[in-house]
Structure 1
Amino acid sequence: MPDTKGLVIVNTGNGKGKTTAALGLALRAWGQGLRVLVVQFIKGNWKYGELKAAEKLGPDFVIRQLGEGFVKHAKANANADHQSAAQTALAIARAEIASGGWDLIILDEINYAVKFGLVTVSECLELIGLKSGQMHLVFTGRDARPELIDCADLVTEMRAVKHPYQQGVKAQKGIEF
């Protein structure tokens, strides 16, 4: 049995914290000298706090925000923009995984991209096939497909129990973004 193995990790479920958990893992990895890349498939054009933090961590902790924003509430005519952005993110993910330049790559909200038909589950499985034996690859987002879950070494499902939004509290700086 090997001492180390590049893991495939899935953070899914309807609860809050999938990206947050992945970023916590990324911070831990960076602290141990690993090179970390986060490719964001949906998030775009918002200034999330993690972007500011990553800038301060230097070239071994990079977040690439490539999405067009939330797909669920997008206007019908914006779907082509979302499709194009997701395919660009997918191409970048392929190239970066194949490059071997990173120890941990997080494909943030890629499960949403699959759910909304912007990326296929077979394309996700292809990404797993591209990774080196030591690279860790993390997939985040609700509704992870069973095929992805079957391939993963570690799957965590976040379950919503209670959320301040249910009491009318809007998203807060430093907590949700």
Structure 2
Amino acid sequence: MDKGYIQIYTGNGKGKTTCAVGQGIRACGCGFKVLMVQFLKSWNTGEIDIIKNIDKFDFMRIGSPRDFTWNLTDREKSELKCEITTNFKFLSDLITSKKYDMIILDEILGTINEGFLSEDEVIDCISKKPNNVEIIITGRNASKRIIEKADLVTEMKEIKHYFKKGVEARRGIEF
């Protein structure tokens, strides 16, 4: 890749992670090496199972398995913050290593919104990316400063969702 950009998929609609995974698969199909780093998710999902079978598509989670953040105790939130901040330095080093052509930071915006990482830490990290590395960021509520740092921003906007009719998350569709 000659020039890598920063992409953001944000908003309250469905499809942010799905879009990022699709970008990663496309990149692998073109011979690029991809890393997907997932924050704040700990349940098994269909995309992870298939990613593990794709050559040149690496996957890692930051944070041990837990419930949704709004269900965590203060102690559990403190432990999770420690895990995220400890591993974030390792991630920053991976971004600058030039080992990957594309790095997906899935739900990293959630780490900012939940207070596990600061906006400054994330901006500093993505600012250090080599010129030929593509960064994809997902999550709700992208801040103005993060958006300004990006080259492409897409907002997934919920218009209508069957969850509001009581339909629970479905395997193979939502996870």
TM-score > 0.5 by shorter chain = yes
Q: How far 1:85 sits from its partner (Å)? A: 2.4
Match of 1:29, SS state, is: helix
Partner of 1:5: 3
Structure 2 residue runs without a partner (length 5+):
none
1:49 counterpart (46, 49, 59) = 46
Q: How far 1:73 sits from its partner (Å)? A: 2.5
Match of 1:57, SS state, is: coil
Match of 2:53, SS state, is: helix
The residue type paired with residue 56 of structure 1 is N
Greater than 6 Å deviation, 4+ residue runs = none
Provide the TM-score with structure 1 as the length reference: 0.92
Partner of 1:63: 59
Tell me if 1:170 matches 2:160: no
Percent of counterpart pairs with the same letter?
37
Aligned pairs for 1:105-116 (under 5 A) are 105-116=103-114
Provide the TM-score with structure 2 as the length reference: 0.93
Partner of 2:138: 140
Q: Is the 8 A contact 1:111 1:144 kept in 2?
A: yes
Q: Is the 8 A contact 1:40 1:108 kept in 2?
A: yes
Taking the aligned partners of 1:170 and 1:47, their CA distance within structure 2 comes to 16
The 10-residue stretch of structure 1 (71-80 or 125-134) with the greater mean CA deviation from structure 2: 71-80
Q: How far 1:11 sits from its partner (Å)? A: 0.7
1:110-135, CA deviations, whole angstroms, 9 ceiling, x for partnerless residues? 00000011001111111122211010
- Equivalent pairs counted in the alignment come to 173
User: CA RMSD for the aligned pairs?
Assistant: 1.4
Taking the aligned partners of 1:92 and 1:51, their CA distance within structure 2 comes to 21
The 10-residue stretch of structure 1 (63-72 or 133-142) with the greater mean CA deviation from structure 2: 63-72
Q: How far 1:43 sits from its partner (Å)? A: 1.1
Partner of 1:157: 155
1:43-93, CA deviations, whole angstroms, 9 ceiling, x for partnerless residues? 12x1111111011113x1011022344212322321112202221341232
Partner of 2:25: 27
Taking the aligned partners of 1:157 and 1:89, their CA distance within structure 2 comes to 28
Taking the aligned partners of 1:43 and 1:81, their CA distance within structure 2 comes to 15
Relative to structure 1, the CA distance from residue 8 to residue 113 in structure 2 (aligned partners, 3 Å threshold; closer, same or farther) is: same
Taking the aligned partners of 1:77 and 1:163, their CA distance within structure 2 comes to 34
The residue type paired with residue 48 of structure 1 is T
